[in-house]
Structure 1
Amino acid sequence: MLAPVVPSVSGRLEAGAQAARDDGPHEAFRLMNNDGAIKHLGRSYFTKWLYFASALEGPDDAAAAPILDDKIAGWLDREAKFSLDRTTASYARYLELLACWGERYGRTRVQVEKAIFKLATGRG
């Protein structure tokens, strides 16, 4: 037997996508992590949704919302001593870090996030 889909899920996903496009990654994360939260759709998954919904100019779009999953958070903690919890404030710090690391080399936040993912997993 299939579990019913909660009617508010599609609206919350759409609101998150719209916030990512209109207001940027920080505001979209705030929404999906708080008022627009979906049960069992945590940071690792809703940031993937926000990325795919906001990468309108291509996979390395400077305006796209970077993914923050447990592999990336773990690598940052181990290798850079940069701990992130699951709060919106931590995601804001993460965005700042990605921008800082990418600025010197002309890389977008998403390009830096992808490089970290590759280092963390050997994939990418």
Structure 2
Amino acid sequence: MIVLPDDADLPDRKTVLGQAIPFDRARWIPLLPDSTWWPTVLDECPQVGRWPRVDRRTVFGIASQAAAAEGRRHLLVAVLVWGTGTKAQSVNRRARIFEHSSPANIDARLGKALDVLRERGGVDAYWAFNNDQRIPHLGAAFFTKVLYFAGHDSAAAPHRPVILDSVVSRALRANDAVDTSWPGNGWTTDQYRLYVDGVYEYAQARGVLPDQVEAALFSQGKQSA
């Protein structure tokens, strides 16, 4: 069971959907297979200071078009952009996905994994991304973001996908919600199931959605870094 203090300040859904990350379009475009992979919706994101910012609400909108191959490509890129920030080193690391797999291979694996999400839920789709449909250099911290945006508002409970990354994992350990063997990354499918079920149970008890719990854990993990 995921445990947060009884008086934990959970963000409302509007705050969660508004979580915005800065990005540098010019760093991404040369690293994509071609310019059609770039979701043009990102060009409409508001600029705050030096950089435009993409929020969860925008990525959800992109995910709504993921029934088609181009939509899935745009979802993948939007997730990478939202989860990376502006540092050149971080962008280059994320873009290794495109260096080590052909567009056709990415299309096939992404499509099959999202079929599993739609048909059997987030945990089975996690297994798919970790095994048969593995895309080199797309680790769990990012493919759980793909699953979250593609399925959070439609997948059946209790296996509604939720983001799991090293920051959330740090909060889980800090709250003693997991045992000492829990890794900082590279989680097994059973560990992801434990996390998803725990988040769902806690969300039900508090009358919120699972991503509100995930966002609270992420905030806590950032503070304890």
TM-score range, shorter chain: 0.7 to 0.9
The amino acid that maps onto 1:109 is P
Write the mapping of 1:8-23 to structure 2, written as runs, cut at 5 A: 8-23=105-120
TM-score by length of 1: 0.81
Is structure 2 residue 136 aligned with structure 1 residue 35?
A: no
CA distance in 1, matches of 2:193, 2:218: 18
Q: Which residue of 94, 101, 117 maps to 2:218?
A: 117
The secondary structure found in structure 1 opposite 2:133 is: coil
Whether the aligned pair in 1 keeps the contact of 2:109 and 2:135 (CA below 8 Å) is yes
| Residue equivalent to 1:101 | 202
Ranges in structure 2 where 5+ consecutive residues have no aligned partner: 1-29, 32-98
Decide which moves more: 15-24 or 93-102: 15-24
| Residue equivalent to 2:82 | none
The secondary structure found in structure 1 opposite 2:171 is: helix
Whether the aligned pair in 2 keeps the contact of 1:62 and 1:108 (CA below 8 Å) is no
| Residue equivalent to 2:172 | 76
The amino acid that maps onto 1:34 is N
* Aligned sequence identity (%): 29
CA distance in 1, matches of 2:204, 2:220: 19
Whether the aligned pair in 2 keeps the contact of 1:72 and 1:117 (CA below 8 Å) is yes
Decide which moves more: 95-104 or 66-75: 95-104
Whether the aligned pair in 1 keeps the contact of 2:158 and 2:196 (CA below 8 Å) is no
CA distance in 2, matches of 1:117, 1:94: 13
CA distance in 2, matches of 1:81, 1:110: 17
After superposition, give the CA deviation of every residue in 1:42-62 in whole Å (9 maximum; x if it has no partner). Answer: 1101101111111346xxx98
| Residue equivalent to 2:146 | 49
Counting strand residues as a fraction of each chain, which structure ranks higher? 2
| Residue equivalent to 2:123 | 26
The secondary structure found in structure 2 opposite 1:107 is: coil
Give the RMSD, CA atoms, in angstroms: 2.4
CA distance in 2, matches of 1:39, 1:4: 7
The secondary structure found in structure 2 opposite 1:104 is: helix
Deviation at 1:69, TM superposition (A): 0.6
CA distance in 1, matches of 2:121, 2:112: 12
TM-score by length of 2: 0.47
CA distance in 2, matches of 1:16, 1:4: 18
Aligned residues: 119
Whether the aligned pair in 1 keeps the contact of 2:162 and 2:211 (CA below 8 Å) is yes
The secondary structure found in structure 2 opposite 1:111 is: helix
Q: Which residue of 161, 164, 171 maps to 1:65?
A: 161
